[in-house]
Amino acid sequence: MAEFDFDVIVIGSGPGGYVAAIRAAQLGLKTACVESRETLGGTCLNVGCIPSKALLHGSELFEEANNGTLAKFGVKIPAPELDLPTMQGEKATAVKELTGGIAFLFKKNKVTWLKGSGSFVDKHTVQVGDAQHSAKNIVIATGSSVTPLPGVTVDNEGGVIVDSTGGLALDRVPNKMVVIGGGVIGLELGSVWRRLGAQVTIVEFLDQLLPGMDGAVRKEAAKIFKKQGMELKLSTKVTGATVEGGKATLTLEPSAGGDAETIEADCVLVAIGRRPNTDGLNLAAIGLETNQRGQIVPDHEFRTKVDSVWAVGDVIPGPMLAHKAEDEGIAVAENIAGETGIVNHAVIPSVVYTMPEMAGVGLTEEAAREAGHDIKVGNFPMMANSRAKTNREPDGFVKIIADAETDRVLGAWCIASLAGTMIAQVAQAMEFGATSEDIAYTCHAHPTHSEAIKEAAMAVRGLPIHI
């Protein structure tokens, strides 16, 4: 008899987990994946990245029809009517197709789905429901969940105070929505409901939106969202919330302390961040501890201090991004199989899928200076890009940060309608150690938004053509 039931058991089927399971199976390892949801794909596919993009796209189409953008280009239609159930139905269809696709890939690659929640019995054994399953290697890929806000109780069923899951499933457009948190999730979902007709107020504890992004992006983002009609309450904290008669009343104070005020809303979206899902794993059974942030800290190969246990994705340090988790999932499977799996954590792009999109990769200008780099910075405005100008998408810019001595690209940040797609070019260039000159002398198709990246690279040396 085999010593273990499986070569690899992956706990969690989000982007890190399902990718790790499929890659392990491709490498000839007998693999199982533990998942308690009725569908695979984790938060991202079920109640995160994918459904939010469906609503973002649908709301963008509605706004184009509703605010005169289509009419400006000669597409004249009667006043559009919002059919929210149909929009939500399209979202559900996209989710079903993609989660079903993961189930198909599991069958194709002979990955066993162990349905239920997993917890450790020992370093080679996982309890799933009433059964125990053993493996030579176990990968923790349990993802993250919404961070609660003290004094503000989320009730997604009630629909008045909701988290990101509830914010994706509203059955009506609120008259007034307050979003607590000016990060990626809050701004994306706030954008959806603003476009569909809600008055949206963003309450952010810090003095700027989008913590972690380049200062120029954060500053410009505030201007753009204000222009779009959002009210921003920065340097403000929420200290309490009550619900009565289908409305919420929030108590706010300046972050540094001061006089309180109250505001009312039909819907409050709590989006202050996410925390690792490590509770319930019974890590004590294998002697594995978490750090102060509740994260598991593995080595560069993603092996924990318990030699048979590995960890990837949102449960380990680093940005909580699906594509980071996917790359780690591939790498951990390759390491388990005896190959060399590597993730360059210095080149992980991040994107905010508002309109326009906001994206970056590598160091911010502030981080580059703090790290002691002597830098040169090139900027190019989207209003000077021919395609953006033609499409009437003038907001935004591209910014490239390069080492002053070597010209090697250290980071890039942009705001543009296609920023999320554009940033991939710079990420790949950085992976190959490109200089700004390499990008500047790469021929870019005309007319495209990506020409702004070429011009920003030229601007590093003070030589852009179109400004």
Sequence ranges of the binding site for NAD(+): 181-188, 204, 273
Residue 466 is a catalytic residue: no
Please, are residues 260 and 271 in contact by the beta-carbon 8 Å criterion? Answer: no
- List, as residue ranges, the binding site: 53, 118, 142-144, 181-188, 204, 273, 314, 320-323
Structure tokens at 456: 């920003």
Catalytic residue among 124, 446, 449, 466: 446
> E strand or H helix at 94, and its extent?
helix 84-108
Report the DSSP beta bridge partners of residue 376.
402
Cα–Cα distance for residue pair 24/56, rounded to 1 Å: 34
Please, are residues 351 and 319 in contact by the beta-carbon 8 Å criterion? Answer: no
First vs last Cα of the chain: how many Å apart?
72
- Supply φ then ψ for residue 254, to 5 degrees: -60, 145
Please, are residues 159 and 166 in contact by the beta-carbon 8 Å criterion? Answer: yes
CB atoms within 10 A of CB 384: 17
Cα–Cα distance for residue pair 359/416, rounded to 1 Å: 8
Question: Largest alpha-carbon pair distance within the chain?
Answer: 72
- List, as residue ranges, the binding site for FAD: 53, 118, 142-144, 314, 320-323
Report the DSSP beta bridge partners of residue 180.
203, 270
Q: How would you classify the pairing of strands 261-265 and 247-254? A: antiparallel
Q: How would you classify the pairing of strands 118-122 and 176-180? A: unpaired
Structure tokens at 410: 């250290």
Which residues have a catalytic role annotated?
A: 446
